[in-house]
Structure 1
Amino acid sequence: MTAAARIWSVTARNLPEHADNLIHTDEGARAIGFGGALVAGTTVHAYLVHPIVEAWGADWLAEGTSTIEFLAPVEAGDRIDCVPVPADDGSVEVRAEVAGTLRARLVAWRGSPAGDGASCEGERLPDHLEPLDHGWIDYARRAGDDLALYSDSGFVHPCGWSSLANNVMIRHLVDGPWIHTRSRIVHHSAAMVGARRWSKRR
């Protein structure tokens, strides 16, 4: 599928499971200076990727790359406009705007860039096996992404990868409130509900 990406809008929301990170509760966010609960970065990721998957379809889920940057808070109840901006190199930047103000951006392109896969130095964390169950479709739907491709075809929503990476952070690296600021994700093949996923931390 090679259709042009289209603007898509949604009202941002938090899900009950996000309360484990206090930044996604009013009390926790206000304690560190925000006006109210911040919407999870994984949810904003789900919104940003909607125009890309709508336009590029399953091919991008099987072989695509994206970089997501969270630049300013999004609060529950904010209306987010996801505005795609094509670039000359074939990539598309999707801008998450609230009342015309940029809050987050995703740059997506087809395929994997050269040089991907370099190892990092440092302590190796334990590998982890996790089933990719129906929740990886249902998460995005509950958050407001109404694209039918996932439920119709059984694909795992790409926001699942940032969510799984966040689980690594929570399990091994952070204690207390924290903020997701940036992710880079490379799709090596399409993931289907019912598969099992190994997390290998380099």
Structure 2
Amino acid sequence: MQTRSLVAFNTALDSENKIHDDDVARRFGFSGGLVPGVDVYAYLTWGPVSTWGRSWLERGRISVRFAVPTYDGDTMTVEWDEPEGRLRNPTGAVVASATAGMGPAAATVDLARYLDAPLPGPGDRPPASPSSLAVGTVLGTWSVAVDGASQSAYRDDVREELLIYGTEDLLHPGFVLRAANRLIAENVVLGPWIHVGSEVTNLAAVPTTGTLDARGTVTAEYERKGHRFVEVDLLVRLDEVPVARIEHTAIYLPRQVAEG
């Protein structure tokens, strides 16, 4: 088994999602603001990239689930015992787990499933609800320009120690997964919300420069234990080249918010 330690960092203090804010998170019973799940995912990708390198970035797969929060400043331990990855907090509790592997040499995706749609303006987003996130809803396409300089800062933020991203000018898979969060957040108005897990299929190693976009459709919306969940099937592209398919699950309305 391979292990490494890192100090978790909350990159989302200024986020619209106030679950990352210390005061708001404490009102919900947490010890402080939550480190984003997409960054916890970034920590866990250290294992498969250490083992399979660029090949995993080109055609690897990973399923990740988050069990309990990760907090800013905590010394975390990443464990990788192929094909299983775990992240443990200072008490030894497993806060997140992943299963990773290699996909076929040429994974195929039905591109016709991923439709382009206009993104609503900031003032036109509807509140997140069972109707605005109904099954079959095509979300507006979100995009962002990326460059090497911003990626260097990002890798520092997620405590990445592998050199492959800098030496080969590649986007970090954690940054790619951020596109899934942005796709949801730029289509509906959310209160505090929680990333629960993701299934990711890599389709290409992603250069650090270009326009990254995400498009997708709501595949499930349901209630469980008082929380409202949404599942989205999305495609991420760089300069119109597909780079990842993601099945993303989030609690968009936590029970604590619904109960006021």
1:32 to partner: Cα distance: 1.3
Cα RMSD (Å)? 2.4
CA distance in 1, matches of 2:188, 2:152: 27
1:138-157 map, 5 Å = 138-157=153-172
| Residue 165 in structure 1 maps to residue 180 in structure 2 | yes
CA distance in 2, matches of 1:131, 1:44: 23
TM-score for both structures, normalised by structure 1: 0.85
The residue aligned with 1:84 is 80
The residue aligned with 1:195 is 210
| Residue 25 in structure 1 maps to residue 21 in structure 2 | yes
Distance 1:17 1:192, change over 3 A: farther
The residue aligned with 1:122 is 136
The residue aligned with 1:108 is 100
Which one has more relative contact order, counting CA pairs under 8 Å at least 6 apart?
1
Return the structure number with greater helix share: 1
Return the structure number with greater strand share: 2
Instruction: Compare CA radii of gyration and give the structure with the larger one.
Output: 2
Q: Report if the CA contact (8 A) 2:141-2:216 is conserved.
A: yes
The residue aligned with 2:228 is none
The C-alpha deviation readout for 1:18-65, integer Å capped at 9, x for no partner, is 543211121110121111111111111111111221221111111111
Q: Report if the CA contact (8 A) 1:67-1:183 is conserved.
A: yes
CA distance in 1, matches of 2:161, 2:39: 13
Distance 1:7 1:129, change over 3 A: same
The residue aligned with 1:175 is 190
Q: Where does structure 2 lack aligned partners over 5 or more consecutive residues?
A: 115-134, 218-260
Distance 1:129 1:39, change over 3 A: closer
The residue aligned with 1:96 is 87
The residue aligned with 1:61 is 57
Aligned residues with identical type, % of pairs: 28
Q: Report if the CA contact (8 A) 2:61-2:103 is conserved.
A: yes
Q: Where does structure 1 lack aligned partners over 5 or more consecutive residues?
A: 87-91
TM-score for both structures, normalised by structure 2: 0.67
